[in-house]
Amino acid sequence: MVAYLIRRFFEMMLVTFVVAVATYLLLSAVGGPPTRGESQIKQTAEDRARLRARYELDLYWPVRFARWFTGHPAGPLIIGGNEWFAKVPMGCYLLSGDDTTCERYVYLADIPTYHPAVKSSKGVIFGDFGLSTVIKQGQPASALILSRLGPTLELMIISTLLSLLIGVPLGIYSAVRQYSRFDHIATTFAFVGASMPTFFFGLLLILLFSVMPVFLVQAIPWIPKLPPGTREAIRPYEIANWLPRVAPGTWTDHLLHLFMPVSVLTIISIAGWSRFVRSSMLEVMRQDYVRTARAKGLIEQIVIAKHALRNALIPVVTILVLAIPGVFSGAILTESVFAWPGMGTLYLGAISSSDWNVAMAITFILAVLTVISILIGDVLYTIVDPRIRYS
């Protein structure tokens, strides 16, 4: 097992590096550099050069990637008091008027001058993702991510736990009572929940619980009206004339704002979990060892819990661990519909506004979480099924 974990650790490092290269290459190639808004201003060639150097666009692509990933090169190599490779060109600082030739190169010795350490990233492998260039210009991308992480974890953990607590037992019972009336009803609702688009379901809840009560309040005075979005209110409000006003920032205010986004994510996830657990349970319950356990006279609950469910959880573990990165990244559509200030809206905003440091930071963290989740899944296999061993 130790040898397997060591081998997997090196494989994870390789996969992480490949993902980092691919992410940086793709986001650098899609266009829309951070300077596009400022390039509309009339500038001299020297002004454009300083602006390009501000975002390290004056460096060659491999050099930019190396500095983003490791923080190096940060200057010439110094050995025994001597500078090595100081005159190796790292990029082009000043372009000609038609941008076809280079008039002034950036040499390795020039990097501390054009890109001082105070403005440069120490490397993503050291937890430094650089500075935000658009969303909150000059603020570290890591601080921006941390400020959005709490709301996303709150939303995703609650919805994931609720969907598992409801969806897994629902799938087990549907498999045990296959083709019963309950199974048909659960299957119908699962298909509706799985096929309904997230944004449509979110807008439907806003229509039902926030918009329609405004028009029905004259006919039904007691009907409650829920807040349609954001995480908390900015001023006191009331949800019904027979209830006290809700103060912003209170637990009641927080729970009311959580209700609709959590409901959307939970209902859609329940549909997927229940169908997946049902199919896995049906496959296991047809196996010979389950029939043998029943032939021995074991109680049906023991057959299901000890023999069927434990083996049916093996493929479920795979889906469960792959949901870990989603807990970090959030639900982009759901957060956008309900204006939830989480990672999903941050990622969408970073992509749409070309804030590449923030977008690459989130993508890189998701890649690391994904490879770690797969490793956790491999370890959990040995716990769920003792027959699995890694040599």
pLDDT in tens, 239-268: 988 888 999 989 999 999 999 999 999 998
Give which of 277, 260, 264 is closest to 187, Cα–Cα: 277
Give residue 34's pLDDT. Answer: 56
Domain positions in the chain are: 40-128, 143-384
| Amino acid letter, 85 | F
Say how far residue 69 (Cα) sits from the centre of its chain: 20
Give which of 317, 328, 314, 315 is closest to 361, Cα–Cα: 328
Rounded to two decimals, the pTM is: 0.83
Residue indicated by tokens 């300077």: 35
Q: What is the mean pLDDT of the chain?
A: 85
Higher pLDDT, 142 or 311: 142
Residue indicated by tokens 């201003």: 41
Structure tokens at 278: 């049902």
Given the candidates 3.30.300.30, 2.170.130.10, 1.10.3720.10, 2.70.98.20, the CATH classification of the domain at 143-384 is: 1.10.3720.10
CA distance 124 to 358: 11
Structure tokens at 150: 């709490």
CA distance 356 to 350: 7
Give residue 342's pLDDT. Answer: 92
Q: What is the mean pLDDT of residues 128-142?
A: 87
What is the tens place of the pLDDT at every residue in 177-215? 888 999 999 988 888 888 888 889 999 999 999 999 988
| CB-based burial label for 295 (10 Å; 0-12, 13-18, 19+) | exposed
User: What is the band of 391 on the pLDDT scale with cuts at 50, 70, 90?
Assistant: low
CA distance 371 to 19: 11
Please say whether the beta carbons of 75 and 112 come within 8 A: yes
Q: Is the peptide bond before 244 cis (omega within 30 degrees of 0)?
A: no
Q: Does the pLDDT of residue 388 top 70, yes or no?
A: no
The alpha carbons of the chain give a radius of gyration, in whole angstroms, of: 28
Give residue 31's pLDDT. Answer: 55
What is the tens place of the pLDDT at every residue in 282-332? 988 888 888 888 888 888 888 888 888 878 877 788 788 888 888 887 788
User: What is the band of 335 on the pLDDT scale with cuts at 50, 70, 90?
Assistant: very high
Cα dihedral 193/196/199/205 (nearest 10):
-60
Please say whether the beta carbons of 126 and 135 come within 8 A: no
